[in-house]
């Protein structure tokens, strides 16, 4: 077995995202739904072929998450343990100290992550938060890690502040189809999400945007979500596909889980429609077995959250992930591990 960290000694950063073609392809929702409807083997073949045209199929990029401000959020996102509207057991915390962030980032780097993603349970950051989160970006970047933040809605000025601090990626998900959105969230609009993504893009920060499946939506809704993402001009550099983690006390707690093959199809369709993007197999891996995760990699997923925790829920232990990648002869992309 080869070490999953075998490649690229001396390159602590992942290579920059690949260039997208100058004239973007526009996807009609029906075309995207037609991809979903392909015979499974046909869909997998097309996705894997697209994947190989743009990426090394044996590489996976590792991002580690840290919740820098947990719980007590004013928003009513139906899936979220951190909403003050839900009845979950998450204990609200204030923004954590810089030293705790640096410590967690050092540990993530030592484990082999190349990107460190900091998340806050905010509708949007307040003016007084910007200096502190900027320091976090600077210090994490100084460790030789790529930086990502997800802090809620950003205006143009806030996006520029983060860009000036050196932020590499900003995560802001569309979450679901415009037509299904109102069933999940009432305190923020879909247009508000598109505006934040635009502000991030204009500031010159890479966009990380995806969604959640398994929230009771239909295939048509999943196709509409993927079409929204793929039609962003340019489409996001990074596309997280989350499988709902059902959390006791949230409105979506009792939702029927999505058929695993339909989840794999969603990954494959994201790969085909956004060929240059890093497609991240995101939340929900704790409930997936190894074979299902391997199918997701075959479908074109080439990034995972790596670390024992997501924001408030469990993720596979790092040693389990290392074993999985070794069993699949896959390597960590751009890690500087020996």
- Candidate residues 47, 133, 283, 296; the one interacting with ligand DTB per rule CB under 6 A: 283
Q: CA 182 from chain center: how many Å?
A: 22
- Candidate residues 64, 67, 82, 273; the one interacting with ligand SF4 per rule CB under 6 A: 82
3-class SS at 16?
A: coil
Per-residue exposure over 94-131, b if at least 16 CB sit within 10 Å of its own CB, e if not: ebbebeebbebbeebbebbbbbbbbbbbbebbeeebbe
Place of tokens 């609200």: 92
Position 312 contacts ligand DTB (CB under 6 A): yes
Question: With contact defined as beta carbons under 8 Å apart, do 40 and 281 qualify?
Answer: no
Structure tokens at 101: 């962030």
x-marked contacts with ligand SAM along 111-130 as a string, rule CB under 6 A = --------x-xx--------
Residue 133 beta carbon to ligand SF4: minimum distance, rounded to whole angstroms: 15
Cα 180–Cα 268–Cα 41 angle in degrees, nearest 5? 120
- Candidate residues 60, 68, 80, 145; the one interacting with ligand SAM per rule CB under 6 A: 80
Whether residue 296 lies in the annotated active site: no
Rounded CA-CA distance 267/84 in Å is 31
Total residue length of the chain = 338
x-marked contacts with ligand SAM along 15-54 as a string, rule CB under 6 A = ----------------------------------------
# residues near ligand DTB by CB under 6 A? 16
Residue 249 beta carbon to ligand SAM: minimum distance, rounded to whole angstroms: 11
Binding residues for ligand SAM restricted to 210-229, rule: CB under 6 A: 212
Position 245 contacts ligand SAM (CB under 6 A): yes
Identify what 172 binds: ligand SF4, ligand SAM, ligand DTB, none; CB under 5 to 8 Å per kind.
ligand SAM
Beta carbon nearer to ligand DTB, 48 or 83: 83
Identify the bridge partners of residue 309 per DSSP, sorted by sequence position.
Answer: 314
Structure tokens at 210: 């995806």
Binding residues for ligand SF4 restricted to 136-155, rule: CB under 6 A: 152
# residues near ligand SAM by CB under 6 A? 17
Segment (H or E) for 291: helix 290-298
Residues annotated as part of the active site: 73, 77, 80, 117, 148, 208, 280
């Amino acid at each position: 077995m080869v070490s999953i960290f075998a490649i690229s000694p001396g390159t602590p950063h992942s290579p920059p995202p690949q260039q997208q073609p100058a004239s973007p392809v526009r996807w009609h929702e029906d075309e995207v739904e037609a991809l979903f409807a392909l015979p499974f083997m046909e869909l997998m073949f097309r996705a894997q072929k697209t994947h190989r045209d743009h990426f090394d199929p044996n590489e996976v990029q590792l991002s580690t998450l840290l919740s820098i401000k947990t719980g007590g959020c004013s928003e009513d996102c139906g899936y979220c343990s951190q909403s003050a509207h839900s009845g979950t057991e998450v204990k609200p915390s204030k923004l954590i100290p810089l030293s705790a962030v640096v410590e967690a980032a050092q540990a993530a780097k030592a484990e082999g992550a190349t990107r460190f993603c900091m998340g806050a349970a905010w509708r949007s950051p307040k003016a007084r938060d910007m200096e502190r989160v900027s320091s976090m970006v600077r210090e994490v970047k100084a460790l030789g890690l790529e930086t990502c933040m997800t802090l809620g809605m950003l205006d143009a000025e806030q996006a520029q502040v983060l860009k000036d601090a050196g932020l590499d990626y900003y995560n802001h998900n569309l979450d679901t189809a415009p037509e299904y959105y109102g069933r999940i969230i009432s305190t923020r609009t879909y247009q508000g999400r598109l505006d934040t993504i635009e502000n991030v893009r204009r500031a010159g920060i890479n966009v990380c945007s995806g969604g959640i499946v398994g929230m009771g939506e239909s295939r048509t809704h999943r196709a509409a979500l993927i079409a929204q993402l793929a039609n962003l001009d340019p489409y996001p550099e990074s596309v997280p596909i989350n499988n709902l983690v059902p959390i006791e006390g949230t409105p979506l707690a009792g939702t029927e889980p999505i058929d695993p093959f339909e989840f794999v199809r969603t990954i494959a369709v994201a790969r085909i429609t956004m060929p240059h993007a890093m497609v991240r197999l995101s939340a929900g891996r704790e409930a997936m077995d190894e074979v299902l995760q391997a199918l997701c990699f075959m479908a074109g997923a080439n990034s995972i959250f790596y670390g024992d925790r997501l924001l408030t829920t469990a993720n596979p232990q790092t040693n389990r992930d290392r074993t999985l990648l070794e069993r699949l002869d896959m390597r960590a992309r751009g890690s500087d591990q020996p």
